[in-house]
A and B are shown apart, each in its own frame.
Chain A
Amino acid sequence: GAGVSQTPSNKVTEKGKYVELRCDPISGHTALYWYRQSLGQGPEFLIYFQGTGAADDSGLPNDRFFAVRPEGSVSTLKIQRTERGDSAVYLCASSPLGLAGNTGELFFGEGSRLTVL
C-alpha cells in the first residue's frame, strides 16, 4: 500500500497477556516512530528508529515495552504483562528524513487500538 499500515486495528486482551503490534512504514522511509495516544491526550512519544537501530527510546514507559525493526522496514512494538493502563491507540509514523535534516512531516498509520481488560 501507499501509506503506513498498522495491524491489528483493534486488539482486546486480558491483563497480564503479551501483545505485539505491527507497523509497515511507507517504502523507503528510513525513520519510524511509535506513539501512544489516550483519549483527550496528544500522541505520547515512545521510540524512534533510524534504520534498524533505536535512535531514541527515552519514551518507553518501562521495561515491559520493547520495539524492534530488524530489517529497517517493518517494526513490531511488544508489550509484556499488559496492564489496564496500557489501553490506548498505538500510532506508528514514518518519515523520509535522513541524518541531514527533516521536513517535519510524519506520515501516520491509522493506529492500533489496544484494550486491556
Chain B
Amino acid sequence: RKEVEQDPGPFNVPEGATVAFNCTYSNSASQSFFWYRQDCRKEPKLLMSVYSSGNEDGRFTAQLNRASQYISLLIRDSKLSDSATYLCVVIPQGFSFIFGKGTRLLVKP
C-alpha cells in the first residue's frame, strides 16, 4: 500500500461549483498534513496546512479524519484559476514530506 493515495481525476467542474478531494495515508503515526498546488509545468506550492480541528482559508476548507486516516480539501465557488493539480502531503515520520500523485482539477466556464 502506498503511503499517500489520491484519486488522480481529472475532476471536471463548471465555474461556481463545489468540489472535494480526499486523500488517504497509511502511517497512523503521521502528524503533519498539507495540501500543495501544482500548476502545469510549474513547481508545487503550499496551499494550506491541515489541522486536526479542520481549517478554512477563504474558499478552501481542509479537514483531517485520523480514525479513517484521510484528509480532504473542499473548494467552494470554483474559479477558472483553480484549475491545477492538488497534491496531498503527509509527514509520516521525521521531516520527510511524502507527496501523493495528485488530483487534477479542471474548472470550465
Partner-B contacts on A (CB < 8 A): 31, 33, 35, 40-45, 48, 50, 55-56, 58-59, 91, 97, 102-106, 108-111
Contact = CB atoms under 8 A, between A and B. Distances in A.
Given A43-B99, A106-B97, 19 more contacts: A33-B97, A35-B99, A40-B8, A42-B6, A43-B44, A45-B98, A48-B94, A48-B96, A56-B96, A91-B44, A97-B95, A102-B32, A102-B95, A103-B49, A104-B34, A104-B49, A104-B89, A108-B44, A111-B43
A55 B94 CA distance: 9
A106 B37 CA distance: 12
| B contact face: mostly helix, strand, loop, or mixed | strand
A108 B45 contact: yes
Is the contact region of chain A dominated by helix, strand, or loop, or is it mixed?
loop
Interface in B1-59: 4, 6, 8, 32, 34, 36, 42-46, 49
Interface of B: 4, 6, 8, 32, 34, 36, 42-46, 49, 87, 89, 91, 94-102
B95 A41 contact: no
Contacts, number: 57
Nearest to A99: B95
B99 to A, nearest CB: 4
Contacts of B89: 104
Nearest to B93: A56
Contacts of A104: 32, 34, 46, 49, 89
B59 to A, nearest CB: 20
Contacts of B4: 42
Nearest to A109: B43
A43 to B, nearest CB: 5
A56 B91 CA distance: 12
